[in-house]
């Protein structure tokens, strides 16, 4: 066993003494030592209950003959970090999570690992660590938050509150109504209820095969979530016995499956960043053109919030991710020969799976669209690519031309939006918010939600070298590469320039001549780089561009 390095032989007597000092018995030390990687904290609703999940996982490990040992890693709540300096640290924390897990596991020689994430960057950070360490590994998330109806019967989520701020700013709702949404939209523990980044990544853990069925959709407060955690604890012991390691599951075919499910579900644009980073750790090929290749042939089967009215509890009742995958296999969109965390192939896992609600998961022959939920755009404004959640864009905005309203930070743009300075037809440009320019590539949920709350989401577009929350809806195009701080063409856009968006043709263009663009590059100074210390300063100096997953070199 890997743990023999800290417990076998005379020379390890001192190591055993330290293990016994934690309360472990000699018998427990002799068993396989299973690391329980928990991201519990008291400040994130998606993580506040993870002690319960960890206890259930440990019960499963104990029942199957292992010795569970829990340790923690950091977790940032994107919602709380939103729209201030804290958001610079969200994406950057992904690399820290992977690094801290590596340090703990290498130093203490665990035999296998159960990962307990839930929110946005924690899932990919842990997946990166799993690929890097290549031990027997399995994931179980804390599950999604419930969505509950408001007084009009419309189901709410966190995005409801963000959009209510925009509605309030133009006098559409009162103080009392805003407070109502604040008090009721997030009813308890769990990751935010729509197909936002956290739930996207937890569903993709199922799709790639490293989590058990139900991981992405069983609500946090259901007893089924606790039972899933216990089964996961038992499962890791079976994977260890069979020596099935992370990279036996995280292979090229599995990533193709995950991307296909991503397109069918209509997942967050952030999945592009994260899958690229995980593939890098796993030594797999990944490029933005792959997204379009898969999207062009994969039907979009679900419109979950923010793209539609359904939430994760509805997807769960319809059969969850397995039901989506079962629909996709009807036309051969998935490779069902891949090995999964169950120890079985995907084909075996999907035996008998049914779609229980075709209003939530469309039949493969009656999709919302013939193409997937995400699209990569190219053109003179994004020579190396940009990403949009096509399934959340209104039909009227799939093709759009409008004057640029240019801002060098999210804060400037938000002030202009709430100040009523943005009008129908505008294209809001937010730059110097990329991986290095921000630094940290802040999410833009506040401006996009304000635009939607004001009723402008069907007439105003927003483009940025930053990124968007999975809760964002509308013509919101992010990850523009190269970014402004790196001399990308977005740095040379001027107020009033016409920007052309053509999502069906995968185009994003700045409508000025090549000569004018070259002239601007010679006469326009880039915004000076920030002088920052600490971790964020180091991150700024070594982070790659968005099209490479914003990985740290």
Beta strands in 459-519 (DSSP E): 461-464, 476-481, 498-502, 507-510
Cα dihedral 54, 58, 60, 63, rounded to 10, equals -160
469 is catalytic: yes
The CA distance from 99 to 125, in Å, is: 9
Residue 242 marked ligand-binding: no
Residue 443 marked ligand-binding: yes
Dihedral sign for Cα 225, 227, 230, 234, please.
negative
Coarse DSSP helix, strand, coil percentages of the chain, rounded to the nearest 5 percent = 45, 15, 40
Residue 465 marked ligand-binding: no
Q: Which of 469, 500, 544, 545 is catalytic?
A: 469
- Residue 151 makes CB contacts below 8 A (sequence gap 6+) with 180
The CA distance from 40 to 142, in Å, is: 10
The CA distance from 278 to 299, in Å, is: 24
The CA distance from 454 to 497, in Å, is: 24
The CA distance from 388 to 130, in Å, is: 28
Structure tokens at 272: 């592009």
H/E run at residue 114: strand 112-116
Print the SS3 string covering 388-415: EEHHHCCHHHCEEEEEEEEECCHHHHHH
Catalytic residues: 469
Question: Annotated binding site: which residue ranges?
Answer: 78, 120-121, 443
Question: Annotated binding site for Mg(2+): which residue ranges?
Answer: 78, 120-121, 443
């Amino acid at each position: 066993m890997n743990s023999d390095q800290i417990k076998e032989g005379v020379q390890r007597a001192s190591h055993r003494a330290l293990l016994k000092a934690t309360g472990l018995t000699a018998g427990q030390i002799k068993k396989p030592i299973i690391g329980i990687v928990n991201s519990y904290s008291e400040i994130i609703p998606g993580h506040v209950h993870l002690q319960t999940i960890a206890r259930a996982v440990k019960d499963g490990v104990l029942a199957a003959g292992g010795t569970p040992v829990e340790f923690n890693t950091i977790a940032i709540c994107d919602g709380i970090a939103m729209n201030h300096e804290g958001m610079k640290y969200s994406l950057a924390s992904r690399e820290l999570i992977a690094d801290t897990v590596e340090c703990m596991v290498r130093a203490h020689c665990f035999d296998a690992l159960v990962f307990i994430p839930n929110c946005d960057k924690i899932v990919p950070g842990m997946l990166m660590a799993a690929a890097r360490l290549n031990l027997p590994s399995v994931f179980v998330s804390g599950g999604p938050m419930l969505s509950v109806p408001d007084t009009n019967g419309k189901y709410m989520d966190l995005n409801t509150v963000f959009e209510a701020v925009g509605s309030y700013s133009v006098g559409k709702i009162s103080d009392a109504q805003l407070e109502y949404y604040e008090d009721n939209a997030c009813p308890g523990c769990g990751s935010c209820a729509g197909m936002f980044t956290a739930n996207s990544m937890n569903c993709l853990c199922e799709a790639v095969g490293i989590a058990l069925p139900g991981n992405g959709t069983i609500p946090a407060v259901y007893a089924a979530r606790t039972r899933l955690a216990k089964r996961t604890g038992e499962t890791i012991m079976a994977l260890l016995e069979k020596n099935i390691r992370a990279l036996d599951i995280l292979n090229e075919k599995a990533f193709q499956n995950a991307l296909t499910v991503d397109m069918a579900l209509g997942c967050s644009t952030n999945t592009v960043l994260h899958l690229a980073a995980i593939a890098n750790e796993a030594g797999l090929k990944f490029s933005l053109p792959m997204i379009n290749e898969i999207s062009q042939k994969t039907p979009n089967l679900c419109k979950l919030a923010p793209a539609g009215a359904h939430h994760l509890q509805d997807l769960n009742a319809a059969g969850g991710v397995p039901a989506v995958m079962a629909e996709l296999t009807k036309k051969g969109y998935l490779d069902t020969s891949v090995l999964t965390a169950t120890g079985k192939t995907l084909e075996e896992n999907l035996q008998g799976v049914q779609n229980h609600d075709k209003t939530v998961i469309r039949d493969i022959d009656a999709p919302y669209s013939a193409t997937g939920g995400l699209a990569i755009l190219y053109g003179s404004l994004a020579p190396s690519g940009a990403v949009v959640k096509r399934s959340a864009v209104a039909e009227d905005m799939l093709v759009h031309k409008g004057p640029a309203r240019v801002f060098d930070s999210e804060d400037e743009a938000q002030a202009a939006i709430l100040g009523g300075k943005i009008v129908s037809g505008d294209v809001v440009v937010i730059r110097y918010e990329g991986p290095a320019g921000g630094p940290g590539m802040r999410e833009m949920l506040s401006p996009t939600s304000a635009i939607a709350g004001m009723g402008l989401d069907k007439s105003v577009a927003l483009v940025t070298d930053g990124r968007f929350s999975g809760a964002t809806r509308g013509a919101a195009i992010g990850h523009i590469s190269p970014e402004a701080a790196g001399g990308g063409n977005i740095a040379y856009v001027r107020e009033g320039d016409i920007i052309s968006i053509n999502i069906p043709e995968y185009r994003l263009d700045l409508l000025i001549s090549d000569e004018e663009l070259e002239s601007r590059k010679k006469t326009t100074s880039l915004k000076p780089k920030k002088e920052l210390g600490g971790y964020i300063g180091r991150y700024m100096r070594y982070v790659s561009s968005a099209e490479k997953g914003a990985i740290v070199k």
